[in-house]
Amino acid sequence: EDKVVQSPLSLVVHEGDTVTLNCSYEVTNFRSLLWYKQEKKAPTFLFMLTSSGIEKKSGRLSSILDKKELFSILNITATQTGDSAVYLCAVGAAGNKLTFGGGTRVLVKP
Amino acid sequence: EPEVTQTPSHQVTQMGQEVILRCVPISNHLYFYWYRQILGQKVEFLVSFYNNEISEKSEIFDDQFSVERPDGSNFTLKIRSTKLEDSAMYFCASSDRQPLNQPQHFGDGTRLSIL
């Protein structure tokens, strides 16, 4: 059975801090790893990673994948209160479905 | 920016009744999905749909569930004879090409409450 584990479960930081979120996985026939941000409703797509060691960046967010050690990290630098959300990691393997982790809840205090 | 839209945002139904959840995927997308998230739990895959047929389904997606694309824009999830444990947030998603090469984009969800 495919498994995706995220850590920590939650964290509280102050504006300006840097956060690092972790995602480890065990799947058969790995194809891609995706990060989503979930505020009140829809998971919003952030990154899709398919190759090891290539960092993807979007503004203050960045992510990298290690296919040998089977994990990914999502970094958020200079955090803002608007970064408060649940961050979801999902893995696409053989077939069409995504397998999600339990999420990391981030609270950024002013 | 194009988005996936879902209606209704909240549905309250008596146990045993049938419900239909509606989704309008992004217009040029070809692959469609339903996921659910029970309160406090992970997002779980239910079914994927391509070329007017189910391409993959999970163990959750039993005979109680069905999907349909009744016209060129809508994608529906029907739940027959609802149970209390069907209470969850149901998300529709779509992607424009082979799903493992393109991200899935999610709608805001329908919160289904079974009484």
Query: Comparing C-alpha atoms, which of A70, A69, A106 is closest to residue A86?
Result: A106
Please give the structure tokens belonging to residue B95: 């992607």
- DSSP labels, A12-32: EEETT--EEEEEEEE-SS--E
d(CA A51, CA A2): 19
Rounded-to-integer distance, Cα A10 and Cα B89, Å: 21
pLDDT at B113 over 80: yes
What's the distance, CA A16 to chain centroid? 19
Distance from CA of A5 to the nearest CA of B (A): 11
- Report pLDDT digits (tens) over A60-97: 999 999 999 999 999 999 999 999 999 999 999 877 78
Average pLDDT of chain B to the nearest whole number: 92
d(CA A63, CA A12): 20
pLDDT of residue B71: 86
Record the tokens describing residue B106, joined without a space.
């999610």
Which residues in chain A touch residue B31, judged by CB atoms under 8 angstroms apart? 96
Q: For residue range A29-72, what is the model confidence (pLDDT) as tens digits?
A: 888 999 999 998 889 999 999 988 889 999 999 999 999 999 99
- At B98, the pLDDT band (50, 70, 90 cuts) reads low
Q: For residue A82, give how far its alpha carbon lies from the nearest alpha carbon of chain B (Å).
A: 18
Give which of B45, B47, B60 to mutate to test A binding, by max A Cβ within 10 Å: B45
Is A44 in CB contact (< 8 Å) with chain B? Answer: yes
- Closest CB to B48 among A34, A36, A97: A97
Closest partner residue to A41 among B56, B100, B109, by Cβ?
A: B109
Residue of A44, A49, A56, A33 whose CA lies nearest to A82: A44
| Residue B86, helix vs strand vs coil | helix
User: Shortest CA distance to B45 belongs to which of A9, A27, A91?
Assistant: A91
Q: Per the CB < 8 Å rule, is B42 touching A103?
A: yes
- Is A70 strand, coil or helix? coil
Test the A interface: residue of B94, B104, B108 with most A CBs within 10 Å: B104
pLDDT value of position A52: 87
Q: Is B84 on the interface with A (CB under 8 A)?
A: no
Cβ separation A97–B58 shorter than 8 A:
yes
